[in-house]
Amino acid sequence: MTKTKLLVVDDAPFVLKALRDTLEAHGYEVHEASNGEEAIVRYSEVNPDVVLMDILMPKMDGISAIRNIVSNDPDAKIIAVTAVGKRGLEAECVDAGASGFILKPFKTRDLLVTIGRLSNYEGN
């Protein structure tokens, strides 16, 4: 059985490392990008099952990256993972094409459930 491929996008190196460590321990294949531009490039290279996308990032923010990825691949499964608790941000992410929204800090279980829901959906 092949592992589910994740692309984790975040500009904070320790967040990337923590997510890689915990997600690999839960059996996922993890790829990284540290801004929106890089995310777009990595997405086409890796073709991940699910993307975890930070929103506030240098070069290109998460919303623009989500929009770009979804316009090229309408089936892309992207979860916005952000520390910004601004009202209306969730709606903005969903409008851009995100399939999920998780506020940092999150319970790993909640993140895994959301990833599971999106990757199974694709499998069926």
Partner 1 sequence: MKGIEILRAYQEEIIEAIPSTIIILDAGLKILYANRNFYVKSGKKEREVVGEKLERVFSSTLIQKTRIDEKIRQVFDTGVPFSGEQLRYPGGLFFFYKIHPLKEVDLSIRRVMLFMEDITELTRLEEELHDSYVKLENAYAELKDEDEAKSDFISAASHELRTPLTVINTYLEMFEDGMLGDIDDKQYEKLAIIRSQTDQIIRLVGDMLDTLRLDSRKFKIQKYPIKLEEIAKTAVDEVSKLADIKEHTISLRINGKLHQIEGDAQRIKQVFNNLLTNAVKYTPNKGRIEVDVKEDKKRLLVSISDTGIGIPEKEHEKIFQKFYTVGGNSLMQESDRMGLGLTIAKGIVEAHGGRIWVKSDGEGKGSIFYFTLPTYD
From 114, 37, 100, select the one nearest 69 (Cα to Cα).
37
> CB 23 → partner 1: shortest distance, Å?
9
Q: What is the separation, in whole angstroms, between the first and last Cα of the chain?
A: 15
> CB 106 → partner 1: shortest distance, Å?
7
Q: Does residue 18 bind partner 1 (CB under 8 A)?
A: yes
Judged by CB under 8 A, the residue of 6, 19, 51, 79 near partner 1 is 19
> CB 112 → partner 1: shortest distance, Å?
11
From 118, 121, 2, select the one nearest 53 (Cα to Cα).
118
Please check whether residue 59 is in contact with residue 36, taking contact to mean a CB–CB distance below 8 angstroms: yes
Q: Does residue 104 bind partner 1 (CB under 8 A)?
A: yes
Please give the distance of CA 47 from its chain centroid, rounded to a whole number.
12
Judged by CB under 8 A, the residue of 2, 105, 123, 124 near partner 1 is 105
The letter for the amino acid at 11 is D
Question: Which residues within the stretch 45-84 sit at the binding site for partner 1 (CB under 8 A)?
Answer: 56, 83-84
Q: Does residue 95 bind partner 1 (CB under 8 A)?
A: no
